[in-house]
Structure 1
Amino acid sequence: MSLRINDELDAEELFHCALEASNLKYHERAIELLKRSISLEDHPAKRLFLAAEHAEIKLYDRAIEGMQTTISLAPELWIAHFQLGQLYLVTQEISEAKKVWSHLVNSTNSPSYFQEFARGLLAIADGNTEEGIELLRGGIAENSENPALNKDIEKIIEATANQGSPQEKPQIKNNENSAVNKMLLSKYSQN
């Protein structure tokens, strides 16, 4: 996307243009606009979307750093915690993913559906697939705020349920085509 954006746009206008560029899959442009918007006015939501854009183009180290920055700016932006766990999973840092999910489970302020999703992913990571799927389904039932997240959790359930015979204990793996990795790349709205 080679369109020039007016230098006189304010931080909010740049942010909205960045979101549109992201929706059109113009990641380079979205990143550029997000950085310009952040330079004018920093905000955790902008950092979250910048980290998500970095994940889209597989710059996972930058995405992890961006999620960590987002969390330091807004400790109760629970989707950032959840996505940080997903990033650690994608980069094979399972113990770090478990720490993030454990934090979500143990935080009394996190929404109950995030707690259920985190419990489910922890169970699956530990080889307790049936329990994990049940917990993920419970989280979906509780989540009326974020339908896009529910759809992605459904993909994880489907992928996990299809990972082999009952004799094999399916566990979360690093697979570029897995539903977990695809879920990471989704954008979630936060009320």
Structure 2
Amino acid sequence: MKNFLSPFDADETLKLAIHASEHGDTHSAIRYLTELLNIQPDHGAACYFLAMQYAEIGLFERAITTLQHAVEINPTFDIAQFQLGLLYLQTQQMLQAEQIFSGLSLSSHDPALTAFSLGYLALFKEQIPNAIHHFQEGIAVCSNDALSNDIKRVIAQVENAAQNSSIPKLNNQDIAHSNHFTETQTEQASTTNEHKTLTGFLGAYLDTIDEDNGPH
């Protein structure tokens, strides 16, 4: 009879955090996630989602640290590594971003992330046609609409900058954060502009998390 008064378990707390984020309550989402991680510090999905929330409110270094922990927990957590690379790029840590994308280009199990990483590596070398080619290759095999749409925006920015004979400048403003969860995505997560920038922050990718096996 008193089960409804019992503390929330990890999966329930993560669902509460996702629900709060869906309704624009980032602070409550952070509170739920930190509570969860204080009890279960190696919960990779919670680390990943907490990093998304930190980035949403501009706490980029804290987001980076949290993503680093998620990758330490699961070195094959490819989408967390990709997000980490984007955050390094967002915060002008170009060497670290290059290292992340270089590694993913060789080891990722997701062909879309492999192609997108190659695209960013080409972009670093100002090889614009090559970068666009890789980005388009990735879009062709990407099963995540939010990620595909973000990369399409990157292509549009790169093409516009190329027409103006300039390379897009990176800053830490207006991370494009898609955060539209369905109930099914929530269940999967629990088991587991100048203002525009080159980076699209990919919060909707929580639905690709598998706690044991990384993104799928």
Structure 1 residue 185, shift from structure 2 partner: 5.2
User: Are the equivalent residues in 1 in contact too, given 2:122–2:131 (CA < 8 A)?
Assistant: yes
Structure-2 separation of matches of 1:65 and 1:13: 24
Give a deviation string over 1:65-84, Cα, whole Å, max 9, x none: 01100000011111101000
Partner of 1:93: 93
**Are 1:21 and 2:38 counterparts?**
no
Mapping 1:40-59, distance limit 5 Å:
40-41=39-40, 42-59=42-59
Partner of 1:184: 201
Mapping 1:1-191, distance limit 5 Å:
8-41=7-40, 42-107=42-107, 109-144=108-143, 146-165=144-163, 168-171=165-168, 173-174=170-171, 176=173, 177=193, 178-181=196-199, 183-184=200-201, 186-188=203-205, 189-190=207-208, 191=216
Against the structure 1 CA distance between its residues 81 and 54, is the aligned structure 2 distance closer, same or farther, given a 3 Å change threshold?
Answer: same
Structure-2 separation of matches of 1:164 and 1:141: 23
Structure-1 separation of matches of 2:148 and 2:197: 13
Structure 1 residue 174, shift from structure 2 partner: 2.5
Structure-2 separation of matches of 1:119 and 1:51: 24
Structure-2 separation of matches of 1:64 and 1:142: 27
User: Are the equivalent residues in 2 in contact too, given 1:112–1:139 (CA < 8 A)?
Assistant: yes
Letter in 2 for 1:165: Q
Structure 1 gaps, min length 5: 1-5
Give a deviation string over 1:111-132, Cα, whole Å, max 9, x none: 1211100000111121111110
Against the structure 1 CA distance between its residues 171 and 125, is the aligned structure 2 distance closer, same or farther, given a 3 Å change threshold?
Answer: farther
Structure-2 separation of matches of 1:113 and 1:172: 24
TM-score normalised by the chain length of structure 1: 0.88
Structure 1 residue 7, shift from structure 2 partner: 6.8
Letter in 2 for 1:180: L
User: Are the equivalent residues in 1 in contact too, given 2:105–2:117 (CA < 8 A)?
Assistant: yes
Structure 2 gaps, min length 5: 174-192, 209-215
Against the structure 1 CA distance between its residues 172 and 118, is the aligned structure 2 distance closer, same or farther, given a 3 Å change threshold?
Answer: farther
The number of equivalent residue pairs is 182
Which of structure 1's runs of 4+ aligned residues deviate more than 3 A?
none
Give a deviation string over 1:126-152, Cα, whole Å, max 9, x none: 1111110110000011112x2211111
Against the structure 1 CA distance between its residues 175 and 61, is the aligned structure 2 distance closer, same or farther, given a 3 Å change threshold?
Answer: closer
Percent identical among aligned pairs is: 33
TM-score normalised by the chain length of structure 2: 0.78
SS where residue 29 of structure 2 aligns? helix
